[in-house]
Amino acid sequence: MAASDRAKELLALNEQIGTLEKQLKQQSDDRAALQQQLAALARQQNLLAQQQRQLGSDIATNRRSLGQLDQREQHLVATITLQRQQASSVLAAHYKLGRQPQLKLLLNQQQPARIRRQLGYYRYLLQARQQLLESLNRDLLQLTAVQSEQRQQRQTLQQQQSEQQRLGVQLSQSIAKQQQRSDQLANRMQAQKSELAGLQEQRQQLERVIAQAARRSVPSAPSRPIAELKGNLPRPAPGRLLHRFGDPRGDELRWQGWLIDARRGDPISLIHPGRVVYADYLRGYGLLVIVEHDAQTLSLYAHNSELSAALGQQLSAGAIIAYAGDSGEQAGNALYFELRRDGQPTDPAEWLR
pLDDT at residue 90, as a whole number: 61
Strand partners, 236: none
Its pTM stands at: 0.48
pLDDT at residue 114, as a whole number: 60
Distance in angstroms (rounded) separating the CA atoms of residues 257 and 142:
88
Q: Is 318 left (phi over 0), alpha (psi -120 to 50) or beta?
A: left
Angle, helices 3-98 vs 112-216, to 10°: value is 170
pLDDT at residue 214, as a whole number: 47
Distance in angstroms (rounded) separating the CA atoms of residues 273 and 314:
7
Task: Indicate the SS3 state at residue 242.
Answer: strand
Kindly report the length of the chain. 353
Task: Indicate the SS3 state at residue 199.
Answer: helix
pLDDT at residue 337, as a whole number: 97
Q: Is 6 exposed, middle or buried (0-12, 13-18, 19+ CB in 10 A)?
A: buried
Nearest to 324 by CA among 340, 338, 304, 344: 304
Distance in angstroms (rounded) separating the CA atoms of residues 64 and 82:
27
- Per-10-residue mean pLDDT, the chain, length 353: 59 68 70 69 68 76 76 76 70 58 52 60 64 74 80 79 75 69 71 69 63 55 82 96 91 86 95 94 87 93 93 95 88 93 93 94
